[in-house]
Copies of this chain bind each other. A is one copy, B any other.
């Protein structure tokens, strides 16, 4: 692993962070490969989210989570809240609040399920549908920008490795 400084800006880049970690933890018996893999997943995720918020979402009035929730409903069609929360990766209590916000913008609508009155269904309004149709291609364009520096093979390998991680974690039953 050869790491060389391109520049000494005095600011803290990714490279110098990893060096600081090496300095601080070099003596300990740690799994550094696992550490770099995991910490870079988190780091990339933050950077990507920031980037997409700043570009595509900037003037829409939508938050990241609001967008994700609408995306789920858009992909799956009318859905139960339970399902939406799971797919969006948020707690059901959180979803209640997010839906309240999205409803106030008239992007989604709640509808009680007549067959089971505990359940609530969520649908996009036509205005929400329209928003997703214009927003999603822009979103995908920025996704392409994000992985621009990786060739096709690496993109597929990246996605494949991450799928393995996710399925490993989700497949692990917790007591």
Contacts of A166 in B (CB 8 A): 14, 40, 43-44, 47
Q: Is A63 interfacial (CB 8 A cutoff)?
A: no
Is A168 a contact of B149 with CB atoms below 8 Å?
A: yes
Instruction: Find residues 21-77 in chain A having any chain B CB closer than 8 Å to their own CB.
Output: 21, 24-25, 28, 30-31, 33-51, 54, 74-76
Copies in the complex: 2
- Please, could you name 17 A-B residue pairs with CB atoms under 8 Å apart, sorted by A? A4-B116, A13-B167, A24-B75, A31-B140, A31-B141, A33-B147, A33-B152, A35-B140, A35-B143, A37-B155, A41-B44, A50-B89, A146-B168, A147-B165, A149-B168, A154-B157, A158-B162
Q: Is A106 interfacial (CB 8 A cutoff)?
A: no
Q: In terms of DSSP, what is the predominant structure of the interface of chain A?
A: helix
